[in-house]
Amino acid sequence: MLQGSDRQNQAARGVRRTVAACAGMVLAMGGLALASAPLYDMFCKATGFNGTPLVGSAPAVTDGEALAPVTVRFDTNVSKTLSWRFRPEQASVEAVPGRTATVFFKVTNTGTEPAKGIAVFNVQPDLMGPYFVKVQCFCFDEHTLQPGESAEFPLVFYVDPALRKDPDIGTLPEMTLSYTYFPSRNGAPVAEVAKPTKTTNF
């Protein structure tokens, strides 16, 4: 009887260890899944990967040879699930590398209920992302607008003069900064969920 009881106790301990190990793996995988998006965002912001502009302070003013300006175009979009209107005060600016520029964007809640939104962005072509440096930006900040309410947000930026020395893209005359406003949930943008297509069985 003692040997049988010992075997049962060992089996029970083995089951408990297996359950604990599985639960630990599930928790670890969940933690990695939750951390992956913020870590990827931090990587993009630090390196300019995938057209992500860098964040920096205003450049020091230098009295050197003026570099050819870059036409920076602004593209604004709003998720279909957010009843907002979103426009830049001007469609483009001629940005001289190394000099700061400021552009205002206006957003209006055209819906009948209060709504929260977060703007995300990227630069095209992708290779120009690391040379677009934001000094002040409203992106990734959650904003709440009441029905009919409007707000204006500034973007302060400069184009890194090193762009003109890049052998691959140094001669390109323009870039596009594209913003998209998404609904916000718990301080994070909520992308649109694709609706399943209807299928017909014959």
- What would the pLDDT profile of 24-63 be if each residue is shown by its tens digit? 665 655 555 444 445 445 545 554 444 455 554 555 545 4
3-state percent breakdown (helix, strand, coil) of the chain, nearest 5 = 30, 35, 35
* 167 prior amide bond cis, ω within 30: no
The enclosing H or E element of 76 equals strand 70-78
What distance in Å separates the CA atoms of residue 141 and residue 49, rounded to the nearest whole number? 21
Residues of the chain with pLDDT below 50 are: 1-2, 33-37, 39-40, 43, 47-51, 56, 61, 63-64, 193-202
Contacts of 200 (CB under 8 A, 6+ apart): none
* Exposed / middle / buried, residue 109 (Cβ in 10 Å: 0-12, 13-18, 19+): buried
Residue 15 is predicted with a pLDDT of 64
- In 79-149, beta strands by DSSP E: 84-88, 92-95, 101-109, 115-124, 132-136, 143-145
- Quote the DSSP letter at residue 116: E
Global pTM reads: 0.65
User: In a 3-state reduction of DSSP, which class is residue 109?
Assistant: strand
The tally of CA atoms less than 13 A away on the side-chain side of residue 62 is 12
- Type of residue at 125: P
Contacts of 144 (CB under 8 A, 6+ apart): 114, 115, 116
pLDDT value for 186: 85
